[in-house]
Amino acid sequence: KALAKKADEQSAHFTNEDATKQGLILPFIQQVLGYNVFDVGEVMPEYTADTHLKKGEKVDYALLVNGEVQIIIECKPYNDPLNLKHAAQLFRYFTNTTTRIAILTNGRTYQFYSDVDAKNKMDDEPFLTLELNQIDNHIAKEISKLTKESFDIDSIVNAASDLKYLNKIKSVIEKQFVNPDPKFCDFLTSEVYSGTKTQKVKDQFEQIIRKALKRFLNDSLNKRLNSAITPDLENEPVEQLIEKSDDGIVTTEDEAQGYLIVKAIMSEVVDLKRVCARDTKSYFGVLLDDNNRKPICRLRFNTAQKYISITINSDKEEIKEPIDTLEDIYKFASVLKNTVNFYE
């Protein structure tokens, strides 16, 4: 979180690769992965292996465990997109050394590669991608396996294989939810309909499937919301959150429900007791630690078109997005969770 805040506040200073290394990547190696950047026996800069590589070709850093190179890191400037075409030496090091983990990073995005598809040949796709400002508990758990203290290459490679295919399957499922393809629709139709599948029937079931997927997603989100609410909130009906104050401020049912959804989302990154509400005449505010200097979001539900405004940096700048239903708040889950990084 501290690094994410630093990246946000000092991004203008990371104008080249060296600045990015010094300001973000070396602190990540030391603070997150646990390697001593001042000990060349653990972190070797400008590493060259004794192989048949191109003359003078190096990787930016090699991380050593028990004297053996286990992780190689290629760095790019902060504002550069990550592209494997610009990191060909990582591929060559995989082919000519026993290294099985590679990291490509620009200081804010970290792509982790292994040799899942073919041993000693680096995969074209990362098995894990970490965005510095969007670290959740699942990613943190996987990153912990790469730390010096917990490093176990066999368990890491096994996890890499699972993660790679898990992410691919997840991506396929997400695409089907957004736009189910004919094969997927045909499969589901066959499970529930035994008649002749004319084009009219196919078109009818495509619409039914779209509605069913949307309803399934909404039901799942509601279950998640209910399970995330603390016992105190479970015993407190929504009506008790709806208040009318002496100054004319009325907390509506939609605002109360929206607040509970935001709390459910934030429960993944902070203790729910830290997420507080403060209603005003123009918007319903959600704050961290009940501190108006730590805004998470504002629910603007006083007009026909509802909006949610979410803090996007430490300067308290916001994005304002329209929402059609309360469930639309979940679309901004990652942005909401990221607000914590601006205050810690």
**SS3 letters across 233-279:** HHCCCHHHHCCECCCCCECCHHHHHHHHHHHHHHCCCCCHHHEEEEE
How distant, in Å, are the alpha carbons of 86, 90, 112, 162 from that of 156?
25, 18, 11, 10
The count of structural domains within the chain is 3
Q: Are residues 74 and 107 in the same domain?
A: yes
Alpha carbon 49 to its chain centroid, in Å, reads 34
187 and 150, same structural domain? no
Residue 187 domain-assigned? yes
CA distances from 297 to 262, 277, 289, 307 (A): 9, 10, 13, 10
Across 26-35, 103-112, 150-159, 235-244, least confident range: 235-244
131 — pLDDT class (breaks 50, 70, 90): confident
**What was the pLDDT predicted at 241?**
47
Strands 101-105 and 68-75: parallel
| 35-55 residue pLDDT tens | 999 999 999 998 886 555 566
Residue 149 belongs to a domain: yes
Confidence class for position 226, pLDDT limits 50, 70, 90:
low
User: Quick check: is 224 in a domain?
Assistant: yes
Q: Full-prediction pTM beyond 0.95?
A: no
Same domain, 88 and 111: yes
Mean pLDDT score of the chain, rounded to an integer? 83
State the residue range of the domain holding 204: 179-228
Domain shared by 111 and 159, yes or no: yes
- For residues 30 and 88, membership in a common domain is answered with yes
How far is 295 from 318, CA to CA, in rounded Å?
10
* Cα 196 from chain centre: 44
Amino acid at 8: D
For 67-109, the pLDDT digits (tens) are 888 999 999 998 888 888 777 778 887 777 778 899 999 998 9
Residue 63 shares a structural domain with residue 85: yes
In a domain, 239, yes or no: yes
- Sheet arrangement for strand 101-105: 43-47, 59-65, 68-75, 101-105, 109-113, 128-131
230 confidence band (pLDDT: 50, 70, 90): very low
Q: What is the mean pLDDT of residues 313-324?
A: 89
Half-sphere exposure of 142 (CA within 13 A, CB side): 19
The CATH number of the domain where 39 resides is what? 3.90.1570.30
If one compares 149 and 178, the residue with the highest pLDDT of the two is 149
Q: How many CB atoms lie within 10 A of CB 291?
A: 12
Same domain, 140 and 20: yes
**Looking at the domain assignment, is residue 174 inside a domain?**
no
Reading phi first (left if > 0) and then psi (alpha if -120 to 50, else beta), residue 69 is in: beta
- Where is average pLDDT lowest: 67-76, 164-173, 252-261? 164-173
Report pLDDT digits (tens) over 16-42.
999 999 989 999 999 989 999 999 999
Count CA atoms closer than 13 A to 257's CA, side-chain side. Answer: 12
Last residue within a domain, chosen from 143, 167, 191: 167
**71, 138: one domain:** yes
| pLDDT confidence of residue 220 | 67
Same domain, 104 and 202: no
In the chain, % of residues over pLDDT 90: 28
Residue 132 covered by a domain: yes
- Per-residue confidence at 237, pLDDT binned at 50, 70, 90? very low
Examine residue 310 and state whether it is found in any structural domain, yes or no: yes
Out of 44-58, 102-116, 135-149, 228-242, the most confident range is: 102-116
User: What pLDDT does 72 receive?
Assistant: 92
DSSP for 37-64, please give it. TT-TTTEEEEE--SSSPPTT--EEEEEE
Q: Which two tokens stand for residue 81?
A: 């997109």
User: Do 33 and 63 meet the contact criterion of CB atoms below 8 Å apart?
Assistant: yes
How, if at all, do strands 306-311 and 109-113 pair? Answer: unpaired
Is there a single domain that holds both residue 323 and residue 269? yes
